[in-house]
Amino acid sequence: MNSITSIYLDLVRFLAALLVFMHHLAYERLTGTALGSLGVFGEDGVMIFFVLSGYVIAYVSAEKEGTPREYFASRFARLYSVVVPTLVLTVLFDYWGKQLDPSLYEGRSNDSVPWLRVLVSLSFTNQFWFSDIRYFSNVPYWSISFEFWYYVLFGVALFLKGNIRWVVLTVLAVVIGPPIILLAPVWGLGVWVYRANSQETFSVGAGWALFLGSLAMYLGYRYWGLGAQLTALSDAWLAPVVEPVQLHKARFFLHDYAVGLLVALHLIGANALAQRGTLHLHSFERPIRVAASYTFSLYLLHYPLLHLLAALSPWPAGDIRRTLMLIAGTTCVIVLIGSVTERRKHVWKRWLLILWDEIVKRNVRPSRPGETMAL
């Protein structure tokens, strides 16, 4: 991957995390109404993450992780190195926050059957079919379940061959259920971007057209409210089959497809400009890389953290001092936590590779004297 393309992907990843963060920061109970206009892009931020994820996973599986062993160990290590601390800290943040200001959590954090919430969150089964089992107050956690199963589906499609691949994919789709499958094309757009960038060479003119044109189309899409129209259309299609609200986040799948396609076109344009030496980002590489290294922790922890900080705040919602406290507090805590969790990824991967090798060793029948091993 071109180094400039890599830097730009990190920049987009950080901006996507900021969109989700601003979406939740703008909640009236947290900061009043002053930031309301900044809170409309949260769903789009998640779709940017999905496209980026598909792109990066397609790249690493082709260039670095060409075996099931490497691929699955890397995916699990990436998730669990941040997910496990997130699950622990969410419980601690919620407990502390509820002691200080229970009203912030009323109707927004479900504590019933806690062992089940932990189990389904650890196994990424919290979004199967029409279930939407929230991990206490951690609303953004829903998308991690989607991500996990896209990793699994892509790995199965990549490493299994023949009829068995389609059998396993079909069984997984039936087990997982419609919501996760409905948004899979958005993740798949990222795979398409990688393959398009690998196989096609675009001119500078085409690169600028895709890079700027996709931004202009997105602004027009937002300005004319086309997302609401697409959601109304998808609701009409779904109504005879299923109540649209039962799909939870996947209810907006047509809107998500549109946003995902624009993101994909934008990334193709960015890569074309990077390949032609037109996109200059080397001077900003270090701050972009540093900021991007905290995006996963920011995404997963900001919501329960914002509520805890709001409970700690001596100022009411709407006071600028409270808003600044929430921004500064979240930044400091995420940098502190992320500095630990992000560095544990390689430790997790090493453990997982050892576990994989041990399982393989136990299940491979040793050859008997006189037998030759099949090659």
**Any bridge partners for residue 110, and if so which?**
136
pLDDT of residue 190: 96
Residue 38, domain member (yes or no): yes
**Tens digits of residue pLDDT in 77-98:** 889 989 999 999 999 999 999 9
Residue 371, domain member (yes or no): no
Backbone angles phi, psi at 153, to 5 degrees: -60, -45
More confident residue, 364 or 336: 336
Residue 325, domain member (yes or no): yes
**Any bridge partners for residue 82, and if so which?**
none
pLDDT of residue 207: 92
**Tens digits of residue pLDDT in 147-177:** 999 999 999 999 999 999 999 999 999 999 9
Structure confidence at residue 371 as a pLDDT band (50, 70, 90)? very low
Residue 375, domain member (yes or no): no
Residue 369, domain member (yes or no): no
**Dist CA 289 CA 6 (whole Å):** 10
Residues spanned by the domain of 40:
3-362
**Tens digits of residue pLDDT in 276-295:** 888 888 889 999 999 999 99
Residue 181, domain member (yes or no): yes
Q: How far, in Å, are 153, 161, 165 from residue 156 at the CA level?
A: 5, 9, 7
Total domains in the chain come to 1
Residue 368, domain member (yes or no): no
Residue 185, domain member (yes or no): yes
If one counts every other C-beta atom within 10 angstroms of the C-beta of residue 188, the result is 19
What's the pTM value of the predicted model, to 2 decimals?
Answer: 0.90
* Residues 290, 128 contacting (CB under 8 angstroms): no
Q: Which residue type is seen at 223?
A: Y
